[in-house]
Amino acid sequence: MFAKTTAPAANQDLLIWKMLFDRQTALLHRRAAPAFSQGLARLGLRREAIPDIRELSEVVYEETGWQLAPVGRPFDPPAFFALLAERRFPIVTRIRPMHAFDFSPEPDLFHDLFGHVPMLLDAGLANFLHELGRAYVAQPEGSPAREQLWALYFFTAEFGMVQHEGRPMLYGAGLLSSAGEIHHCVNEYTPRPAFDLASVLRTPVTGARFQNQYFMLPAWELLTECVAELAGLLSAAWSLAA
């Protein structure tokens, strides 16, 4: 399941993977949501080798019915959500350069494999992403609802936090995979308002820098519950537009 590395470029990629893996696992001790730690263990991801995406996809499929789709670059939202609607998650095949070690402005191999894939093994989050994808593709091109759905994805699957046993914990891949984002997130001066669907939907997305705030789920189960709430909001908006 793990890729072989022999060429100089591959060796450099492996070095970056090892350094990122070591730093993030140390930073995430007692900070990562249980679903992430459980998924990481079930997948057997390790520092010594970069996983082979296709072989890892087979493991994920057996566990959840999802597949991993290798891509050369990050997708735009319409293509991205179309994959989610099919229970396929895109994995960027290049790893960040050394100068972007602490913070990568866009998804890379480490962000996707280390940050997203372990969370896909959680049934609640996997269903949430599937429903987001289905909701997005059901909206017409240019619909404001598409921007709102992107914001919801962004402030949950990318930069979400959750209260667990009285502690704030991280579950968004942008947090799990970035040392710089973690340090910014846990700073006492960084706002961490309670998750509220209406507030999240109208919050602008800022992808190329640290976030201004991080929304905190009071309980993990609320992520699943907000899918039904979201369906109701979209249905009402669609009725008004008709």
> Quick one: pLDDT band at residue 242, thresholds 50, 70, 90?
very low
Confidence check: pLDDT of 241 > 50: no
Q: Which residues are catalytic?
A: 111, 116, 158, 177
Which CATH number characterizes residue 159's domain? 1.10.800.10
- Write down the residue that tokens 């006492």 correspond to: 188
For residue 9, how many other CB atoms are within 10 A of its CB?
Answer: 8
113 near 93, Cβ under 8 Å? no
Please tell me the predicted confidence (pLDDT) of residue 24: 96
Residue 144 lies in a domain: yes
Domain of 44, in residue numbers: 8-237
Give the separation between CA 111 and CA 213, rounded to whole angstroms: 20
Residue 2 lies in a domain: no
What distances in angstroms separate CA 194 from CA 11, 23, 89, 199, 214, one per listed residue?
A: 43, 28, 28, 10, 9
Please tell me the predicted confidence (pLDDT) of residue 143: 87
Residue 114 lies in a domain: yes
Give the separation between CA 92 and CA 86, rounded to whole angstroms: 18
Query: Among 169, 163, 168, 172, which Cα is nearest to 221's?
Result: 163
Residue 3 lies in a domain: no
Give the separation between CA 92 and CA 107, rounded to whole angstroms: 7
Amino acid letter at 203? T
CB-based contacts of 226: which residues, under 8 Å, 6+ apart? Answer: 128, 195, 197
Please tell me the predicted confidence (pLDDT) of residue 9: 57
Residue 26 lies in a domain: yes
Residue with more model confidence, 230 or 160: 160
Residue 70 Cα to chain centre, angstroms: 16
Instruction: Tokens for 187, please give them.
Output: 């700073």
Instruction: Tokens for 206, please give them.
Output: 């800022």
Give the separation between CA 208 and CA 109, rounded to whole angstroms: 17
Mean of pLDDT values over 120-144: 93
* 37-62 pLDDT per residue, tens: 999 999 999 999 999 999 999 999 99
Residue 95 — φ and ψ, nearest 5°? -100, 150
Q: How many residues appear in the chain? A: 242
| Cβ-based burial of 41 (10 A; exposed 0-12, middle 13-18, buried ≥19) | exposed
* 141-190 pLDDT per residue, tens: 988 889 999 999 999 999 999 999 999 999 999 999 999 999 999 998 99
Residue 1 lies in a domain: no
Residue with more model confidence, 152 or 6: 152
Please tell me the predicted confidence (pLDDT) of residue 208: 73
52 near 9, Cβ under 8 Å? no
Please tell me the predicted confidence (pLDDT) of residue 167: 92
Answer yes or no: pTM beyond 0.85: yes
Q: How many domains does the chain have?
A: 1
